[in-house]
Structure 1
Amino acid sequence: MSESHWRMQLNNFLQSNGGTRMLTWEVYSSGPPHAVVWTAITYVRGAQYARAVSARQSVAMEEAAKTTLDQLQANRRRGYY
């Protein structure tokens, strides 16, 4: 999924719709060193939008960014954003 650059697309969307400051990330790892699991959570204006889990940090962040972007675009179509 990284080839789609979801984090960049999310950043571009936010830049043209109110600014990137409304987005915050929480990214952390858990588990033993040989089986680390990364969790990435996005918050927009303090509300949680997405949570993704992967063995790779970059993949977790890309998946969370995609989900967040999908939700923001859907909200915009509905007139909520």
Structure 2
Amino acid sequence: MGHRKRSQPRRGSLAYSPRIRAKSMEARVRAWPKVEGDEPRLLAHAGYKAGCVQLVSIDDREHTPSHGKQLVTLGTVIATPPIP
């Protein structure tokens, strides 16, 4: 990319700095809860974000400006493996 004659806006947010590739596709659990007792139990359940959906509903709350109207809300789909 050559020299620009004019300035331009920043490409990307500084909140995600430095922008680098992740080391692994799999996330890791960094904090485990304290275990009391000897019986086996589920300590963590991993999942990853699979996508987004739009949820459509009718607002049934009274005394709101959108009472009786259609509302669109965002939702997240999380994919998890089955628990044995």
TM-score (norm 1): 0.20
- Pick 1 or 2: higher relative contact order, CA cutoff 8 A, min separation 6: 1
Larger CA Rg, structure 1 vs 2 = 2
- Relative to its length, the structure with more helix (as a share) is 1
- Relative to its length, the structure with more strand (as a share) is 1
TM-score (norm 2): 0.20
